[in-house]
């Protein structure tokens, strides 16, 4: 039995907690410590070491990979280049438009430090991105569609809650079944984001509120709802707490391609149905932490993305075991 | 514009023809020649060079990657080690149980020759195998299911045609919707191959045949049909020719995992719906031919599988372009 991979977690919100739980399921990893700006935090597991972020520098020789669980807006652009000097890392940077410059800023550091740093890991970017690229590579003549949901949208839930007469509420984005069926038929239609998605709101009313007025205000809200097929359900506070307390998400990547002289339809579809978005994203990060450690041990360095990494590197078994049992 | 990748095809059945067509769709490849044991063959495209297999040795310096399109039973175990001495190759070896020894026999040759040889490429083994390994790596606590179909089964079609009173016919294997829904619910059921699949036969009767007798003979045929939910449709010869002249296939890899203290269900699903099985498999081979060429140019050598290869290597665009446009 080879030595376990020593993992650290930096940042302890929903994603950090998910990473803690995912590491505990792995046969070949041990969690060394959790680091937070808040100092020691209350962890899910017992006997988990929790320290202030400033103590991380003492762990350079005790941690093989640091999982960076901060946010993309302000944490990661600062933390990843700083920690890539000291540690192999994985992160979930997801500001799509800024990924190229983020990659450069991390790569510059890790080329000098000799560390291996995998950026933008998760499901989108991440697993969805892999499927978009592989499908297009295999069926070059074709079109790729991404649908999101069923997923809880924070921004749209906030918008619903700002409506007068709304006491509490949540909003889910759902893919349109009709649009997906059209794509699956191989017709390669043009589909706008609003044609491809529906919105569902679950709303608790203030006592004196008029449901008709609230429903109309939501459905006609510009930018948020007016262009979408929107449904508003009125529920009680108890129902909201009981049925809408999770953070589900998911989606579909569908590639419709054509091959041969007869233009045969070939459909590749990848989908996720997640009861907990942060726990799943954290699970992807933890699997890629394994890859960061293995690639670093092979002598590789620099910033990497999921595109650079062979699928076998994220699985605990060896290449020979995978060839025997999974190919 | 960089130089195009020079590709050869060895073997010219359905798979070889599919490879010829797939190469013609690629922006960065050119087909140098097709080699066949039969000598020059009639190709789909015009102006395609077609030669006897013995002429391949003259093309060692003119071909970057040779796509081996022979069968797994007898062609590839002999051809791949022989041609790995001379060329980078990709092949679709799919005798699952013998893959480890096949890998060793190829790797031994290519470690000495310095060539890069990717084995067992296609969709199963291949894309399905990638999804099994990645899903299990991400959701280690969980279970992976594979369903095949709707697909034309050659062996079962032959069995149907041997029944007395059957003039012609085909058999399709289909996944059971009930079994798939059970899996998607996150219950992690045990499902046998016969519980998970149904069989559908389309049969043209001889003039004097009794449909009741034929149907019963098919449905009770041991090993082939007796354990399955089997449906028999009687059709005319014209309908058979019009509606059943393609080679469709496909299937589903569904991984049902659980995360966190609340055992949240997380479902990953990958599926293929293929109007032409050989054209799709050939398209996967052609994409991995690109990876073989790139890895060889990087100085790598030896036998590889899809597990070793980063997804970006199979796409014509550069890593920087992929990070910008697809992540």
* DSSP secondary structure code for residue A155 in this structure: H
Contact: A305, B311; criterion CB under 8 Å: no
User: Hey, which residues 68-87 in chain A have their CB within 8 Å of chain B?
Assistant: none
B206 touches chain A (CB under 8 A): no
Is residue B67 within 8 Å of residue B6, measured between CB atoms? no
pLDDT category at A7 given cuts 50, 70, 90 is very high
Contact: B140, A308; criterion CB under 8 Å: no
Contact: B276, A267; criterion CB under 8 Å: no
Which residues from chain B sit within 8 angstroms of residue A321, using beta carbons? none
Contact: B264, A276; criterion CB under 8 Å: yes
Tokens encoding B152? 């034309």
Query: How far away is chain B from the Cα of A326, in angstroms, using its nearest Cα?
Result: 6
Comparing alpha-carbon positions, the chain A residue that sits nearest to B14 is A260
Comparing alpha-carbon positions, the chain A residue that sits nearest to B27 is A140
Q: Would you state the pLDDT for residue A68? A: 98
Q: Would you state the pLDDT for residue A243? A: 94
Quick: pLDDT tens for B277-290: 999 999 999 999 99
- The mean predicted confidence, pLDDT, of chain B is 96
Q: Closest to B120 (Cβ–Cβ): which among A132, A272, A327?
A: A327
B98 touches chain A (CB under 8 A): no
Comparing alpha-carbon positions, the chain B residue that sits nearest to A266 is B274
Quick: pLDDT tens for A197-251: 999 999 999 999 999 999 999 999 998 999 999 999 999 999 999 999 988 999 9
Who's near B231: CB < 8 A, 6+ residues apart?
B198, B199, B200, B201
What is the mean pLDDT of the segment spanning A88-100?
A: 95
Distance CA A21, CA B264 (A): 12
Q: Would you state the pLDDT for residue A154? A: 86
CA neighbours closer than 13 Å in the CB half-sphere of residue B134: 33
Quick one: which of B254, B251, B204, B201 has its CA closest to B229? B201
User: Hey, which residues 12-71 in chain B have their CB within 8 Å of chain A?
Assistant: 18, 21-22, 25-27, 44
- The mean predicted confidence, pLDDT, of chain A is 96
pLDDT over threshold 60, residue B1: no
What is the mean pLDDT of the segment spanning B177-201?
A: 94
Q: Would you state the pLDDT for residue A2? A: 72
Query: How far away is chain B from the Cα of A128, in angstroms, using its nearest Cα?
Result: 8
Which residues from chain A sit within 8 angstroms of residue B284, using beta carbons? 138
B191 touches chain A (CB under 8 A): no
pLDDT category at A274 given cuts 50, 70, 90 is very high
Q: Would you state the pLDDT for residue A185? A: 93
Which residues from chain A sit within 8 angstroms of residue B319, using beta carbons? 305, 307-308
Who's near A262: CB < 8 A, 6+ residues apart?
B276
User: Is the CA virtual torsion A48, A49, A54, A59 positive or negative?
Assistant: negative
Query: How far away is chain A from the Cα of B215, in angstroms, using its nearest Cα?
Result: 32
Quick: pLDDT tens for B208-242: 999 999 999 999 999 899 999 999 999 999 999 99
Q: Closest to B311 (Cβ–Cβ): which among A133, A260, A283?
A: A133
DSSP letter for each residue of A66-133? EEE---TTTHHHHHHHHHTTTSEEEE----GGGHHHHHHHHHHHHHHH--EEE-S-SBTTBHHHHHHH
Distance CA B160, CA B225 (A): 10
* DSSP secondary structure code for residue A255 in this structure: E
pLDDT over threshold 80, residue B2: no
Quick one: which of A3, A17, A7 has its CA closest to A276? A17
Which residues from chain A sit within 8 angstroms of residue B133, using beta carbons? 311-312, 314-315, 322, 326
* DSSP secondary structure code for residue A235 in this structure: -
pLDDT category at A131 given cuts 50, 70, 90 is very high
3-state secondary structure of A50: strand
Share of chain B above pLDDT 90, in %: 95
Q: Would you state the pLDDT for residue B154? A: 86
Count residue pairs from A and B with Cβ separation < 8 A: 224
Quick: pLDDT tens for A140-165: 999 999 999 999 988 899 999 999 99
Contact: B21, A261; criterion CB under 8 Å: yes
Contact: B138, A320; criterion CB under 8 Å: no
The complex's ipTM works out to 0.94
Contact: B260, A307; criterion CB under 8 Å: no
Phi, psi at A212, each rounded to 5°:
-65, -40
Phi, psi at B201, each rounded to 5°:
-115, 135
Share of chain B above pLDDT 70, in %: 100
CA neighbours closer than 13 Å in the CB half-sphere of residue A214: 26
Q: Would you state the pLDDT for residue B299? A: 97
């Amino acid at each position: 039995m080879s030595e376990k991979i020593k993992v650290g977690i930096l940042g302890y919100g929903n994603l950090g907690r998910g990473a803690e739980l995912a590491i505990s399921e792995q046969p070949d990893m041990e969690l060394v410590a959790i680091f937070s700006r808040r100092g020691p935090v209350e962890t899910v597991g017992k006997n988990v070491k929790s320290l202030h972020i400033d103590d991380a520098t003492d762990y350079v020789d005790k941690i093989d990979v640091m999982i960076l669980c901060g946010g993309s807006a302000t944490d990661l652009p600062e933390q990843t280049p700083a920690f890539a000097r000291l540690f192999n890392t994985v992160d979930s940077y997801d500001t799509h438009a800024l990924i190229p410059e983020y990659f450069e800023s991390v790569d510059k550091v890790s080329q000098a430090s000799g560390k291996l740093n995998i950026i933008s890991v998760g499901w989108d970017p991440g697993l969805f991105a892999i499927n978009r690229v592989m499908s297009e590579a295999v069926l070059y003549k074709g079109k790729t569609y991404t649908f999101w949901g069923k997923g809880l949208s924070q921004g749209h839930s906030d918008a619903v809650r700002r409506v007068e007469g709304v006491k509490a509420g949540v909003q889910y984005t759902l893919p349109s079944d009709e649009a997906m069926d059209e794509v699956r038929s191989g017709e390669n239609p043009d589909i706008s984001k609003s044609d491809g998605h529906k919105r569902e709101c679950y709303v608790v009313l203030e006592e004196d509120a008029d449901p008709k007025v609230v429903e109309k205000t939501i459905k006609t809200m510009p930018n948020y709802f007016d262009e979408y097929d929107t449904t508003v359900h009125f529920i009680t506070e108890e129902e909201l707490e009981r049925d809408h307390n999770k953070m589900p998400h998911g989606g579909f990547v569908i590639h419709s391609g054509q091959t041969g002289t007869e233009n045969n339809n070939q459909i590749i579809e990848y989908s996720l149905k997640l009861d907990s978005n942060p726990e799943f994203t954290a699970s992807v990060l933890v699997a890629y932490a394994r890859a960061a450690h293995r690639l670093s041990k092979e002598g590789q360095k620099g910033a990497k993305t999921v595109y650079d990494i062979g699928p076998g590197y994220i699985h605990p078994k060896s290449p020979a075991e995978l060839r025997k049992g999974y190919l």
